[in-house]
Structure formats: C-alpha cells, structure tokens
Structure 1
Amino acid sequence: MAFRIRDYEAEEEAHSLPRLRTDFHPLASSSPSPKVDDDVVEHEKSEFFDPLRRPETTEMVSVEDLQEFDIASVTKASSSDGFQHAEREWNLFKRLLMQRFSVSKTVSISSHLDMSLWKALGFIYLTVMTISCCSTPGTFVFCLHHNFDSRALLVVQRSDIILKSGKGSEKSSTSMHLEDLDDLQKVSEDVKVIPKEEYISRLHELKDDIARAWHADDRVTSLKLSIKAILRLVARLLMDTTASQFYPTVFVLATDILDTLGKMVWERIKQKAEFQEDGSKLCSLPERFKVADVSSDAKETCNNWFCKIGSVKELLPRIYLELAILPCWRFLLDEPVDCLQRLVMMTRGIADPLASSYCCLYLAHCAQKLHPRDMVICANREPFSTNFGAGYLITCINDIKTMLIRMISSKEMTNGKVLENKKLLISLVEPAIEYIMKSLFENAIQRQVSNIILDLGLGGNPSVMFGKFPYISILLHHLLKQLPAEIVSSNAVAILQLIECSKDCSYDQHLNYRLLGFRLFEKSCQIDVVNAVVEKIMQVVTEYSGLNQYLMVVDAYVDIIIQNQMDSYPGKILEDILKRSGEKGAGENESACLQSILMKLLSHFNNLESILALNHFLEVLDMLDASPRGVVNTNILSIATRNYICDPTATQFLFEISQSLHDGIEFPNVKDVDFQQQARLISRFVQMVDYGPEVERHLTFLVDCRGAFGTTNEIKETLVHSSNYLAIKAMRDGKKQTGFVKSCLAFSEVTIPSVSASAKQLNLYLETAEVALLGGLVSHSYGLLDSAFSCLQSSDTPDGTKQSTDVEGLVLILQKICGLLVMVPGNPDLGSTYLPKAMISIVSSYSWITPKFKARILCAVVLLLATLSQSRLPYCGNHPEVYTNDLLFFGDPSYCRELELLSNDILQNLVNIVHQEPSQVTRGNMALETCNCILSSYRSTHEILAICTKLTATAKACSGTNDNFLKATIRSLDEHLSTSQVCM
C-alpha cells in the first residue's frame, strides 16, 4: 500500500471560494445600502433593524415620560397586584423589625399584666380544645394538661368536664376555665420571667387555633366562645410596654393574629353578601362594589361586628380590633377612608408613646388594605391641609412629632441614664416613623408632595418649601429619605440649612448630612447649588475631630465632588483623613467607609498615573485592614491592566499589590470566586507589563513573579506564555538572540513541571517546543517533546478510569502533537518514525482508552505518516538552520519503507478496533471516519478498495442506507475509483 501524492497548493486553490475586493465593509454604517428587489414589501424593509448599523446616538427617554409612565402604570394596575405588593412589603418589614430588635432568651414583663397574658393564652387553649372536641351535647370532654414551661411557669389542667343539654342549671365551661385560671393566678403571682421561645410559640399557636376554630363546623359557638373573647385579650398584649425591647416582637406576632381575624371576618361577610343561608347564590360582588350592591343581611352582620368592637372599654384594644376589620367598612360606606381620620384622632388618647406610635404604624398598614378606588377618590380632592388621601398619615407624623418634642424638651434628659433610655425609646419608635413616612410619599404626585411638606410644618407657603426653624432630626432623616429626588436637588441649600438647625438627641446630625449627599447624587443639580452644598459640608466636617463621623459624611459627597470636577477637594479629603487617623489608624467601621471613598475615587479614573498623582493616596491605602485593602487593590489592578504598563515605578507598585493579594489568600481554592478573580487579574498584570527592547529585564521580572506567585497554576501558565512571547520577540528583532532564547526556554522548562494539571502541562510543552523549532533549537524541541511524552505516560489514572471530558481533551492534544511532528526533523540515530512510534506505544498502554478514542488517535497518526511521505510538506518552521523531513530524507528508500511499514500496521489495527466497538452507532461512525482517512492517505488499490468496502458495509449495517455521512463517503469512494488507476 503506497501513499497518495498530494499537491497542497493546488488543493487549497481548488477548494477556496472566489474572492473579490470591495471598497466598503458590508457591515459598516457608511457603506451604501444594498440593492433590494422591487417585489420586496416596503413595510418589511422598514421593520428590519441591523444592530451593527444603528446610529451612534440613542434616543433618551425624558424624566417626564418616565413619570407619566409610572403614574399610568400605577393607575392601571389591578387591585390584586397592589394588595400583593403591599403584603410583600409588610412581611419584609416585619422580618426586619424582629431582626433589628432581637431579645435575649428570657423576657421580663410587669406583674400586673403577667397573669392576664397567660390567662388569655390558657383560656384560648382550653376554649379551642372544647370547641374542637364537642360535636354533640352530652359528650364527655377531657382537656389534657398543657405545660407552658416545664422549668417554671404555668400548668393548665382540666378533667371530667361535662357539657349537658338538659333543663337543669349548669355552669358554663368558659366560667369553669376562668375560675381555674383565677385559682392558678393565686399560686403564680410572683412569676415575672417568661422564656422568649415560649412567648412566641404560644402566640403562633394562638393564630393557628383561631383559624381552626373559625373553620370548624360549629362556627357560631366558635365565634361566641373564641373570637370575641380571644381577640380582646390579644389586643391587650399591646398595652404592656414594660419590656420595651420585646415590644416590636409582640407587635408583629399580635398583629399577625389580628390580620388573620380581619381576613376571616371579611370572607364571612362577603359570603353573606353573595350567598343565602341555604347556600344558594345571590350575586357575585364586583371588585369595586358599592354599598348598594351589598345585601341587608351582610350589612347587619358587618354592623354588629363594629358595634361589638365599639363596646370594648379599653381604647387601645378597640382601635386595634377596628383596624383589623377596617376593610369591612366597604360593606357599609362608599368612602371608608373617612374612618381613618377618626381612628387617628382616637390614637391621641394613648398615653404611652411606644404603644401610640406602633398603633399608628398598624393603622398605616391596615389603610393599604382599602380598595385603591377609595384612595383615588380621596387623593383627587383639593390638597389643602389634611383633606387629601394622605391626611391621616400626616396627622400621625405630626402627633409623633409632638410626642418627640415633649420628650426631648424634658428636663430629665440631662440625666445620663434617662437620656440613654430615651434614646432607646426613640430607636424603638423609628421603624413606625419610617414605615408611615414611606406610605405617605408612596405614589404621591408633585402637587401633593409640596402640600405634604407644608402640612408637616416645614414651610409657610408653597414658594418656600422648607422653613428656617429647627425640626426633629429623626423625622427629618426619614422625610429626606422619602422625598423625590427632584425636590431634594431643587431645595438642597434649604434642606442643608434645616439639617444645620436641627440639633437634638433623636438622631445623629452627621447621618442627615450623609443622607443628603446620597440623595443629591441621585439627580444632577445646578453647579452653583452643588458648589454651595459641598463648600458648606466641607466646613461642617472640618469641625469633626473623630475619624468615623468625618468619613461617613465625606463618603456621601465624593461622587458629587468628582462628577462636578472639583479637583481641589480629593487631595484635601485624603490629607484630612491622615490627620484624624493619627497613630491609631482606621478601625473596623472606619475601614468600611474608607474603602468606599477610595473605591469611588478609583471609579472615576481610567489609568494608574491619575491614581498615583493623588496626594496621600498611598498613605491612606496603607491605613486599611487586610480585607478592605484587598478589595481596593483588586480595583486598582483592574484599572491598571486596561493598558500596557511601561513605567518601572508603576510596575513595581502593581507587583507589590499583586503580591499582597496573592499572600492574602491562605488556602487557595480553584472554586473560590474571589481567588479566581484575583488570579486572573494578576495574570493580566503579568501579560500587560512591557519593558520594550529590554527583554533581559523583562525575563528577570518573570523570574520574580514566579517566586512571588508560585502557588497558582493560572499565573504559572501565564508566565510560560510570557516567556515564550519574549523568545519570539527576540527572534523578530533580527539580531542574534540565541542565548536569550535559550534562557527563555530554560525558564519555561523549569516552570512547566510545577503546573499541576497534566493537560495544561502538555499544551505548555508543545507550545515551548514550537518556539524552540522557530528558534532553530532542534535539540531543545526534542527534549521538550520527550517531556511531553513523559507527561502523557503519567496521565493514566491508577484505577483505570477517566472522565470523558478529560479523554476528549487528551485526544485533541495528541492530534495537536501529530500536527507539530510534521515540522520536527526525524532523528537519524533513533529513526525517522521514533516519535510517532513512542506516541502509539504510550496510547496503547492506557487502561482507560476506548476503541472510539483510540481509532481517532491512530487516524491522526496515519495522516501524519501520509504527510511526511510527500515531496513537499504543507508547512515548516521557516528557520534556515532547521531542515524538515522532506529535505532530510526524501528520496531515501529506507525512509519511505519505514513510513509505509508503520502505516500498514496501524491500518490493520484500525480495522480491528472498529469492529471492537460495542455501540452500534459509534461503530458505524468509526468505520466512516476510518474510511475517509484511508481514502485521503493512500492510493486506490485492490487492497485499499477491499478495506474501504468492508468499512462502508459495516457502516451500512450500523447506520442504515439513509445516513448522510455514509452517502458522502460512498460518493468520495466512487470518485477515487473513477479518477485513479487501480493497481493490479
């Protein structure tokens, strides 16, 4: 079997597509439009949009359009979507509230409400047990004891409770339960500590018990014995504020129960409005129903609920219970929002500031349950004072303001302990202020915002939005947080003056200065306003002696300063930071703000030179702890590696930063995202360093990098690539650089074995061998290939298994080796086929190799041998001192005979491997691949024809006659037979 003679240049020309030179790029925007046929529909041409031809400027959407879109979308939104959004916001708020005010494992409560609480819980438990167990009169009910706390507190136990239906006098089960609890109170009068977990779990159980009782068959009994008494007692939980830090948790749990009641009452009344007593349907209430659509029976039931609630003597429980069923006013009133102002006025009767504030908070939450139509009706009124939809919320805020003013102006505030307690109380009230203020400004239009500000006492008329009198700091903070960005930017100076005048203990003043800076950055201001605000802020922060307050305020204005190109401030800020830090440096809190400031400074620079030009930047950077400094260093490295790094000072600085990042990772993990990012940045830094013609200095830099980053595979790979690049660069200079190229090769040869992945080692060895060939160093290329083959031998796993992806990658590497061996001169001492034989021997020794992958490798070797047999090779290294095999051995009969003998052995082995494949589909594809390999490598002889015919027959048996690959292979076989003379 002889190899087929190939003319590579002729084949390339025959298979190349015709090419025509054009004056315009087909995708360029300046190119003339292509001609379109007349029958193309005009609208089809207008609809086509090529993103590569879009104009440079894009149309911007105005703020007015966005505002109109937001208003329209809010107006058209369905009520169900609004309710779901409000519900999600409320649930998130409750979770954050409980997390913010977490308490210890035990809760101390006042003794006068201690037993009433547990009586309520015990009564609820026994009542629900009685309701759930009694289905018919005369049934014996045994309420098992319920241990509230096995360590300390209460044991409720009842037995032999008989419910009779006769005429005789009887004592109700409810009375018996309460008597037992009264007796129990005498025993447990001194109990004042309740485990937090028990407290919370009982309230959760109470909520579930109410739902179960409500959905029980005997709903009337459930209503009388459970809901009426239970909810009154639950609401009383909110009257006790002695355990103030636990009050937010009690509020969340108790209002959950009240919300459950409200939903059930709503569903019950709605059911009465839509169905008769016998279950027949009366009507279906529309989403926006009116009072006229509600039946009289439903109205009567609803009115009874409000009458029962109105009979509750205590003010706070009465307000909470009415708020729980507030949406039910829609069955009685077309504009139920009118009830909100009455309820707000009722809250003024609550003396305790904490209970009053959270009652207003619950009112703001329940008001959102009213239908959006009711709120729209109210919002469309003339916005004078508190007449529009948000009037009740304004009243709540003003009432809280009055309470805070009275608290702050109290003479007791001078006492240190009292002051601390007052600040704790203010922090507990803050969530209520925040939620009410957010509800106040939600979906408010510009005209309403102006009137809200006036009604909050911040201005005398709409032309003067903010007055010149001091305001409560904590209210000002949350007002500033909710104001539209346009209002903040247009009144920035007035707001700044208001913050300056508002100095009280309710909130730290520097936090309001800080918030103003963040809000101003949301929308661009006039340059004179920005200059005035920044100048005033810099005067204010100069008076701060502490570093923490200084950093917190300045952090909010750095973006504004740089955005408006106030170049004199950044250096001054860094200088002031150094002065205030002293020898202590930056603590944990200061480091966070300092990191933020430095990151903002870096975000506005495009090159390292501008960063290093900042005075005191490096000194401030040294103040940071390890973790925040690593973040800043990562950002610096990212900015610096956008361009080539030629300055030696910058290179040394970035080298130290990279070393700090590398050393900061104690346990490098390939799966760690931060580690991967830092490794990529360091690799990028190594690649972007450029010493110009000083290649020796560049190689020294690579040696230093290997010593500094020797534990990271990705960086070591980059070092080998950079070393090989230096060798190629030295070759292109045109001077004799053989010694330097050898130094680069030696660097690569020493570095590659430290790379842990064998596949990466193989690729690096092959790349370096190519560089050696280009440099005319054949002996070095032999050594590198031998190292690659040694790496191939060590890639076999001990257990004989290997992932399919790893096998696929290894096959590709072996095919790449075959492509490289075309350029490598044969070794006269070891034989011209020494390297191909060594590779086949290694592959045959693999225990995990499958017939599929082995066939692909052997086909690559056959193609290599066929290429080496040609009189002219398709490519070479183009080095004058390197002679390829077509010059060294062509015409030597022993050379050709050695190639043919090896290929014949491989060919016979190939045919056998194809038939060893167990998978039928895979076997068919292997047969076709092998057939095509043979047709492109050998001359058409009877022997070759027989082998190819056998292979195609195998493919037909496995794949069928309709396979496209099979059809194409048969056509190719026919062409070879028709164009070639078959040797006899």
Structure 2
Amino acid sequence: MAAVQWHPRERRYTSELQSCRPECAPVEPGDYHPLKAITVTDAKSRRRKGEILARFTTTEKLSINLFMGTDKGKAPNPGSSAVSEKVRNRLEELDNQEEGSQRELLNLSQQEYANRIEELNQSLKEAWATDQKVKALKIVIQCSKLLSDTSVIQFYPSKFVLITDILDTFGRLVYDRIWSMYSFTADEVNDTAKETCLNWFFKIASIRELVPRLYVEAAILKCNRFLNKTGIQETLPRLTAMIRGIGDPLVAVYARAYLCRVGMEVAPQLKDSLNQNFFDLLSAFRQLHGDSVQNQLVLQRVEIPEYLTLYSPAIHWILQCVAYRAPDPLLTEMMERCKKLGNNALLLNSVMWAFKAEFVAARATDFIGMIKDCDEAGFPKHLLFGSLGRSLACADPPEAERLTILNEAWKVITKIRSPQDYIHCAEIWVEFTCRHFTKREVNTILADVIKHLTPDRAFEDAYPQLQSVIQKILTYFHDFSVLFSMERFLPFLDMFQKDSVRVEVCKTIMEVFLKHQAEPTRDPVILNALLHVCKAMHDSVNALTLEDEKRASSFLISGFIRMVWFGRDFEQQLSFCVALANQCLSQADAFFKAAVSLLPEVPRSISVEGKSRPSESFLLDFISNFFATLLVVPDHPEHGVLYLVRGVLNMVQDYTWEDNGDAKVKVYIAALPLLAAMSQETYLYSIPKVDSNETLYGGDPKFLMEINKLCETLIGQVLDYLKTLGREEQMVRRQGSLSFSLFGVLLAHGDLRNNRLNQLAVNLWNLNHKHGCSDTRTSVRTLEHMKQQAQQPGMAHMADMVQRLTLQSRT
C-alpha cells in the first residue's frame, strides 16, 4: 500500500475555544452572570411545583379539550423555494388544525386531569420527534388556552404549573433545534436558522386569542437572540404591556409570574421589565375586590380569604424575581408602595416571603405595625406572622426589639382557634425563640402548644409540625440537663402517641445526644428521661421490624448505655446496668429459657459494620457471660437440678460449629468454673431478695453429686477431644492451648489434694509443654502463683505439685 502523506487542517483556536465556553450575555455591574440566575430560579421553580400541586387541590370535576392530530401536522416538503410561500403554507396548516377535530373530556378528577396533561406533554415530544412541528405547536396552543379557564378556581395554581411544564418543554425543543443550525454569535447566525426562527414567531403571531399567544411567545422568548442582540430587550416590554389586556386578575397575575420567570432565566440583567410587571400588578390590585370577581366567587362558593391565597404563588415568584440582587432603596420603595394600597395583606405576605431575610428582619417592628393595620377578614393575620417568622428564623432582628417582636407575635398566635392554623404558625416561631431566648421562653411556648393541641386529640393531625418543633429545639439546645429541666418537654413528647412517629422522634433525640454529649454523664434527670426514650425505641421492635431498623435502634441504645458512668461508685453503676435489680425474677426466667432456645438459630456469620464475619467468637463470648449470670438464677422446682445449665450444654452439643474450631470444647471448659462456684456454701455474688441455689439446696449432698457428675462428663469430653487433636501433627498447638486452659481451671477451681485430679493437672501441664508450643512467660508466672498459694494454710500440696511441673527447654 502506498504511503499516505499527512496534511494538517487549518485550526481557528480562538473561535473553537469560544464555542466550548458557557453561553454568556452582557451584565450590569454588580449583577450575577445569567447562568447563575438560571440555576437559582429553575431550582426554586422545580421545588415549588410539588408544593403548589399538594396545596391547591379540588374535589370538583374538571374538563379538558384534547387536540385530535392528523397527518396535516407533518412539515411540508423542504424543497419549497420561496420563504414567503413556505410561511404561508404553514400558517394555512395551522388554521386548518385550529378548525380540526377536538375532543372535550368532562368530569375528570384532579389526578385524571394531571394524567391527561402529562399525556399531552408526551404527545408533544412524540410529534416533535417525528417532525410534526405544526402538530406540536397546536398541542401547546390548546394547553395554553386552558389557562384562560377559571371555572374551577381553587385548582388554577396547580393547573398553571402543569401546563407551564409543557410550555417549557416546547421552548427547549424550539431553541435546541435552531441552536443546532447556527454558528457562534448572533452576528454569525446563518440564514436557515434566522428563517426558522422567524417562521416560529410568525406562526405564534397568528394565534387569535391573547392568552395562548402570550404564553407561547414567552415560552420561546430565548429564541429572540437568534434574530438580533436586542431582540429579548425589545420583546419583554411588549409582552408586559400585552398582559394588561387580560381581564381576569388571577389569569393576569400568573401570566406575569411566567413572564418574570422566563425573563430571569434568559436575561436577568433586564430589570426594567421585572419592575414594570410589579408596578402593573399594584395598579391592577384593586380588581381583586371588583364586582366581576365577587360575582365569580359567589357562583363558585369561594370565600375571599381562600381566593386571595390563590394569588400567593404567583406574587411570591414575581417579587422574588424583582428582589433578586435588588438594592435596599428599591426594596424600600416597593414596600412603601405596598403600604399605600388598601387591603394590602396579600402583597405584604408576599413581600415578607420574597425579600431578603436581612431586609425584613431589620424592619421587623415596621412589618408588625403593617400587619396590625391589615383587615383580618381579607387575609388571615396568622399567615402574615408565619411569613414574618420564616424571615426572622434566617436573619436576626435588632437585639433590643427581639422580646417585643416575640410578645407581639405570640399575642396573635395564641388566639388562633383552629388547631391546624395554630400549629403551622407556632412551629415557625419556635425557631426564632430557640435562637434568641432561654429555656424559660421555650418552655412557655411548649406549654401553649400542649394547651391548644390536647383538646379533642388535635395533636394526631399535627405530627409533622410537632416533629419539626422537636428538631428545631434540638438544633439549638445541646445541653440535655437544660433540655430535660423544661417542665413541659416530656409532656410534649407524650403527645407523640402514634408508634412510628414516637420512635422517629426518640431516634432524633438519641442521635443529637450521642453527637453532642462529649463526656459520660451521671445526671439523674438525663438518665431517667433518656431511659424513657430508649424504652420507647426498644418496645417498638417486633417480628416485622427490618434488620436495618433493629441495628439503628441497637446502636443508639448501646451508645446511651456507654455514656453512663458513675466513676468509682460501682454499686450505682451496677444497679443501673443489671435488670434483675428490679425483682423481675419470673420474667428473667422466661428470658433465660428463650435465650437458650434461640442458640441453635444463631447464624454461622453475622454482619459487623457492613462486613460478614463468623459468629463463633461472639457466640462464645455470650455463652461465657451467660454462665456468669446463671450462678444467681435459682432452679425451677418443676424442671429439676441445673436445668438451665444442662439446657445450654445440650444446645452447645447440637449446634453446628466451625469444622476447624475449638469453640464447643471451650464452652465445656468455661462451664466448669460455674459448676465449681455453684458447689460453694456461699456464692461469690447474689441478687438482693433473690434466693439462689445456695439457699434452696444449702449444700445438699444430692445437689453436689449432680454437679460433680456433670463436671466429670465435661472433663471427659474435653480429654477425648485432646486425644483426637494429638493424632495429627498440625493440631498439636491447638491441643497445647486447650490443655493449658483446662489446667488453669483445675488450678483455680479444682481440689488438687485429690491425687487423680492432681495427676490430671500435671499431665495437662506436660501436654502443653510437650511440643514446645507453650508461652514460657505465662508458665513462669503460673509457677510463681502456685508457690505463693503453697504458703497459704492448707495448701501445702501445691509445693509438691510445683516440684513435678517442669518448663520446656529451648535449644
């Protein structure tokens, strides 16, 4: 094959680099870059959509017109030559489809209506994907027309967010299509892109009705930048003026909200149109109390306060756009204009929602005065105080005014009759109280909440708000001695009577305690209260509880127990930890039997910190500790001698242990000290007012005989196992370790004056040292201990035994 010569292509690095950078637009000094505004506004819009859909609902039946598309919606042959001819043909198609088939769906529920809107959204995307652009436009127009309909007025805000989703989808599709056809800047847009852009604006201009024409043009507002650099700047004032022609004030305010949102996304530097929308809103505000609106409300049986709340989302959004990066003088001017309006509670509420929290907090006293002057019949004052409280939770008012602000607000809040309205407002002001005041004021508020929500068990409908109150208190009060010294805190917790909610609250309290309690505590107030909390978590666990939930509760309860420390007061520490101190012997007996019966069900492996580990070592530790507990447990008169000890050993015998492990024999060895302790006349320890076997049997020879027989059986099992290990050379180290363990038990608990037992101990020592696997340091210390014991009265046999024990020699 002939060699291929290399020919480099010419590169325009400056233009290529520019194409890779984020889209930019000129901004005024002090403003954010437009992309920053897009991020902020779009995120807030998505978050608010769910809130609006959940809040503005209806049980009324809804209707919707569905466009029945035909093949006419397909784009004409691209071979058409003249631009004017192409535009005329597409306009004719649009007119034909406006007169085409439609289907009206009646008696739809709210969910069915939302589903139909989503179907239209999907139809729009499918039509666009199949190059049926005119059909896609027709769907958008039909959806936009629905925004003129206020027949079910309570649902209008939800309808707005559903339909503007379709408009946003359409705007992105159009913009992306034209974007793919042009170069880098507006000066370099090719003719095909400009022609396509103009085509879309001509189609929209032919829409007869004002509302759909306005919305659809606003949806593709961003496309104006393909025509010239000042396209958006010229279009925004025109669209703002068009809204003045909408007669229904509710429809008009949401149109302004959509235009402001789109304007902020594409040109946040153009402040004049935003401000003009706000001032137009003020001018049209008197329409809210006009005859046409009043007649509509009478017809739909809607009260004025409920009607005014429908405006809140739109006005909030308009004011947030206006207040974004706005200087304080402009915000002050807007607030003064709101003051001059009569019945301005609705605007005042939105001002406190939308303006910077620092601005509102610095003028909190002025806002309280304005709230007092508002007409209660038009807009509830508790909503106004709720909005003020949200701002004060984010920014601090002047210190000298804080107590006055709280007192003035609470005078209104405490008079609210509806428990739901009350708790919604009180929940907000709890954070302000916790931020700036002491436990005395917080305790007063908790008492007031209990007073309002206890009658008729109103608290059952306010669990989310009550949980929020707890979380806010825990955010600011980390000293639990202070927290539990509030007289009304524990009674407040008692209102959480639904099991699942109570457990969640208890977990929240314990998480905060473990996170912020730096040192162990012995405070009885804290211990008693948190024991109550941990008991609630413990009692919630049942057979249906998930493992993750069990693990989380166990972690929190164990963490609390570890944080309790009484120092050198061991008796107090023991009384806190030992359950039998409560004289619950009958219950303890049932627990012990249950623990024994569950031993065969212990899995071979368990999850520890997310990792699977063998359970054998954990089980061995448990059984050893369990043996120590059984010393104080008296035998049941109907079950025979040592029935619990025999039960454990039987379960151990039947349990499937690891093939190469010595756990079962270690259990047998661990049982010998227990049996030796049980044969004593006086036990090492006992529980007050509980009669252990030392009292029941009193050194009875039959009882001692049963103990001795069981010990002989266990020792025989261990010796047989040691012989088995000795048959394989690789097992001699395990043999030596077990033989030394048994030697230690015999040394500590056996009567070595018995020649056979003494000889067995010597044989075990020699077996441990036979293969050179013993720990010389441990052996030396053992011999020293035996020599010390030999000096005690009655222990002379120890000296003889020491003479027979030799250490292994190392060569």
Give the TM-score normalised by structure 2: 0.66
| Letter of the structure 2 residue corresponding to residue 240 of structure 1 | D
| Letter of the structure 2 residue corresponding to residue 238 of structure 1 | L
Structure 1 residues 666 and 106: CA distance shift in structure 2, 3 A: farther
Residue 789, structure 1, aligned to residue 665, structure 2: no
Q: How does 1:591-670 map to 2 (within 5 A)?
A: 591-597=463-469, 600-601=472-473, 605=477, 610-611=482-483, 613-627=485-499, 628-632=501-505, 643-645=520-522, 647=524, 659-663=535-539, 667=543, 669=545
Distance 1:812 1:85 in 2: 65
User: Partner of 1:262 in structure 2?
Assistant: 171
Structure 1 residues 397 and 622: CA distance shift in structure 2, 3 A: same
Contact residue 608 and residue 639 of structure 1 kept, 8 A:
no
| Letter of the structure 2 residue corresponding to residue 671 of structure 1 | E
Distance 2:146 2:292 in 1: 31
User: Partner of 2:320 in structure 1?
Assistant: 438
User: Partner of 1:108 in structure 2?
Assistant: 63
User: Partner of 1:366 in structure 2?
Assistant: 262
Q: How does 1:563-582 map to 2 (within 5 A)?
A: 563-566=435-438, 568-577=440-449, 579-580=451-452
Structure 1 residues 321 and 840: CA distance shift in structure 2, 3 A: farther
Deviation at 1:207, TM superposition (A): 0.1
Contact residue 669 and residue 718 of structure 2 kept, 8 A:
no
User: C-alpha offsets along residues 830-876 of structure 1, whole Å, 9 cap, x if unaligned?
Assistant: 6999646525879999xxxxx9xx9998853432225667xxx6x99
Contact residue 490 and residue 525 of structure 1 kept, 8 A:
yes
* Structure 2: gaps of 5 or more residues: 1-26, 81-90, 603-615, 633-641, 677-704, 777-807
Distance 1:83 1:422 in 2: 35
Distance 2:164 2:423 in 1: 40
Q: How does 1:819-858 map to 2 (within 5 A)?
A: 835=714, 837-838=716-717
Structure 1 residues 88 and 211: CA distance shift in structure 2, 3 A: farther
Deviation at 1:92, TM superposition (A): 4.8
Residue 210, structure 1, aligned to residue 137, structure 2: no
Contact residue 792 and residue 842 of structure 1 kept, 8 A:
no
Q: How does 1:282-431 map to 2 (within 5 A)?
A: 284-285=183-184, 289=185, 291-295=186-190, 298-299=193-194, 301-338=196-233, 339-370=235-266, 374-375=267-268, 378=269, 389-408=270-289, 420=302, 422-423=304-305, 425-431=307-313
Query: What is the DSSP-based 3-state SS (H/G/I as helix, E as strand, rest coil) of the residue aligned with 2:228?
Result: coil
Distance 1:747 1:855 in 2: 46
User: Partner of 2:679 in structure 1?
Assistant: none
Q: How does 1:715-864 map to 2 (within 5 A)?
A: 752-753=595-596, 758=602, 762-769=620-627, 788-796=648-656, 807=658, 811=661, 813=663, 817=667, 835=714, 837-838=716-717, 859-864=733-738
Bigger relative contact order, structure 1 or 2 (CA pairs below 8 A, ≥6 apart):
1
Deviation at 1:398, TM superposition (A): 3.8
Q: How does 1:29-44 map to 2 (within 5 A)?
A: none
User: C-alpha offsets along residues 489-542 of structure 1, whole Å, 9 cap, x if unaligned?
Assistant: 322222222233333566432123123223223234432121221122233334
Contact residue 98 and residue 249 of structure 1 kept, 8 A:
yes
Q: How does 1:437-516 map to 2 (within 5 A)?
A: 437-442=319-324, 444=325, 448-456=326-334, 458-459=335-336, 472-503=344-375, 507-516=379-388
Distance 1:489 1:92 in 2: 25
Mean Cα deviation higher: 330-339 or 302-311: 302-311
Distance 2:552 2:419 in 1: 34
User: C-alpha offsets along residues 460-502 of structure 1, whole Å, 9 cap, x if unaligned?
Assistant: 7xxxxx9587663343333323333322332222222223333
User: Partner of 1:702 in structure 2?
Assistant: 580
Contact residue 832 and residue 895 of structure 1 kept, 8 A:
no
Distance 1:229 1:331 in 2: 23
| Letter of the structure 2 residue corresponding to residue 482 of structure 1 | A
Structure 1 residues 420 and 536: CA distance shift in structure 2, 3 A: same
Match of 1:936 among 750, 764, 773: 773
Structure 1 residues 436 and 791: CA distance shift in structure 2, 3 A: farther
Structure 1 residues 198 and 678: CA distance shift in structure 2, 3 A: closer
Contact residue 502 and residue 536 of structure 2 kept, 8 A:
no
Deviation at 1:766, TM superposition (A): 0.7
* Structure 1: gaps of 5 or more residues: 1-70, 110-116, 138-171, 215-221, 274-283, 379-388, 461-465, 711-715, 717-745, 775-781, 797-805, 846-850, 904-931, 940-976
Matched length? 679
Structure 1 residues 762 and 517: CA distance shift in structure 2, 3 A: same
Distance 1:490 1:530 in 2: 11
Distance 2:432 2:584 in 1: 42
Residue 677, structure 1, aligned to residue 553, structure 2: yes
Distance 1:293 1:830 in 2: 103
Query: What is the DSSP-based 3-state SS (H/G/I as helix, E as strand, rest coil) of the residue aligned with 1:586?
Result: helix
Deviation at 1:883, TM superposition (A): 4.7
Distance 1:361 1:306 in 2: 22
Structure 1 residues 440 and 538: CA distance shift in structure 2, 3 A: same
User: C-alpha offsets along residues 161-206 of structure 1, whole Å, 9 cap, x if unaligned?
Assistant: xxxxxxxxxxx99699879x77x78xx99x8546637843652353
Distance 1:430 1:625 in 2: 35
Distance 1:824 1:700 in 2: 19
Identity of aligned residues (%): 20
User: C-alpha offsets along residues 203-243 of structure 1, whole Å, 9 cap, x if unaligned?
Assistant: 235303431343xxxxxxx56x6467665555434333334
| Letter of the structure 2 residue corresponding to residue 108 of structure 1 | S
User: C-alpha offsets along residues 925-963 of structure 1, whole Å, 9 cap, x if unaligned?
Assistant: xxxxxxx99552599xxxxxxxxxxxxxxxxxxxxxxxx
Distance 1:176 1:646 in 2: 82
Q: How does 1:48-87 map to 2 (within 5 A)?
A: 79=35
User: C-alpha offsets along residues 268-295 of structure 1, whole Å, 9 cap, x if unaligned?
Assistant: 544554xxxxxxxxxx31xxx2x43334
Distance 2:392 2:478 in 1: 24
Give the TM-score normalised by structure 1: 0.56
Distance 2:192 2:289 in 1: 52
Contact residue 63 and residue 106 of structure 2 kept, 8 A:
yes
Deviation at 1:626, TM superposition (A): 3.2
User: Partner of 1:127 in structure 2?
Assistant: 72
Structure 1 residues 705 and 585: CA distance shift in structure 2, 3 A: farther
Deviation at 1:894, TM superposition (A): 5.5
Contact residue 470 and residue 503 of structure 1 kept, 8 A:
no
Contact residue 323 and residue 366 of structure 1 kept, 8 A:
yes
Query: What is the DSSP-based 3-state SS (H/G/I as helix, E as strand, rest coil) of the residue aligned with 1:241?
Result: coil
User: Partner of 1:961 in structure 2?
Assistant: none
Query: What is the DSSP-based 3-state SS (H/G/I as helix, E as strand, rest coil) of the residue aligned with 2:391?
Result: helix
